[in-house]
């Protein structure tokens, strides 16, 4: 695991209109809670909120420092975003008990080119995440899946992925992660057949139009 990133925080007083003022000041309201911490409102800098809720920081353990929360390890639980700008408008931080396991969904990264591609096969991704249970400081950044040995009409399942003994897999072991198969070509419509349908005689009793 990489070194833990520290996010500086300040206390926040909940109230109507406060959140809007914070956002105009380039700050983002947030809340921290966990099994050993009551829900505590805080504020963090917008730059930190944008950076650390982006791709590449999924399931990362951060240290939130400042105000009533003191210094505490957290995971990003959820992020509210502006419907137009997609900037974070509120963040829920979860402060886990670092001695107890948590459930997380870990990204799967597919590497290589399937062997079946030589026979016209195309790699199709079915699932991009695997749910596991482990200690917070043991959460992996991702799982790497090498597809280079995947033959035509073959598949890779969760059960094919080596897992450390300290990981409990919560996803179904039979869940398909990817396949290699020939993509069926769509048949073009027959113009003659379409013309026959368009020129078909009206049904008996139907009114004939001029």
Cβ atoms of residues 137 and 112 within 8 Å: no
For the chain, percent of residues with pLDDT exceeding 90: 77
Alpha carbon 200 to its chain centroid, in Å, reads: 52
Strand, helix or coil for residue 100:
coil
Strand, helix or coil for residue 69:
helix
- Nearest partner of 120 among 32, 182, 59, judged by Cα: 182
pLDDT in tens, 87-126: 999 999 999 999 999 999 999 999 999 999 999 999 999 9
pLDDT in tens, 151-210: 999 999 999 999 999 999 999 999 999 999 998 776 666 655 555 555 555 555 555 554
Domain range summary for the chain, segments of one domain joined by +: 5-94, 102-181
Q: How does DSSP classify residue 3?
A: P
Signed CA dihedral, 112, 114, 115, 118: sign only: negative
Q: Is residue 189 packed enough to be buried (19+ CB in 10 Å), middle (13-18) or exposed (0-12)?
A: exposed
For β-strands 27-34 and 37-45, DSSP reports them as antiparallel
Pick the CATH number of 102-181 from 2.170.120.20, 2.60.120.10, 3.30.70.1450, 3.30.479.30: 2.170.120.20
What local confidence, expressed as pLDDT, does residue 1 receive?
46
pTM of the complete model: 0.79
For β-strands 71-81 and 129-134, DSSP reports them as unpaired
Task: Assign domain 5-94 to its CATH architecture.
Answer: Beta Barrel (2.40)
């Amino acid at each position: 695991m990489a070194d833990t990133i520290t996010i500086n925080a300040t206390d926040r007083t909940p109230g109507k209109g406060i959140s809007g003022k914070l956002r105009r000041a380039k700050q983002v309201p947030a809340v921290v809670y966990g099994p050993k911490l009551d829900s505590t409102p805080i504020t963090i800098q917008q730059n930190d909120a944008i950076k650390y809720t982006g791709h590449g920081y999924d399931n990362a353990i951060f240290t939130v420092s400042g105000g009533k929360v003191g210094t505490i390890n957290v995971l990003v639980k959820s992020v509210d975003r502006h419907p137009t700008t997609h900037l974070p408008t509120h963040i829920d931080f979860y402060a886990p008990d670092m001695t107890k396991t948590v459930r997380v969904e870990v990204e799967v990264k597919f590497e290589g080119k399937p062997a079946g591609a030589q026979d016209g096969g195309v790699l199709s991704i079915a699932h991009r995440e695997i749910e596991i249970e482990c200690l917070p400081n043991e959460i992996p950044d991702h799982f790497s899946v090498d597809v280079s040995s995947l033959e035509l009409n073959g598949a890779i399942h969760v059960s094919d992925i080596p897992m450390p003994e300290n990981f409990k897999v919560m996803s179904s072991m039979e869940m398909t992660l990817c396949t290699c198969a020939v993509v069926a070509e769509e048949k073009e419509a027959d113009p003659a057949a379409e013309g026959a349908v368009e020129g078909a005689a009206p049904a008996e009793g139907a009114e004939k139009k001029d």
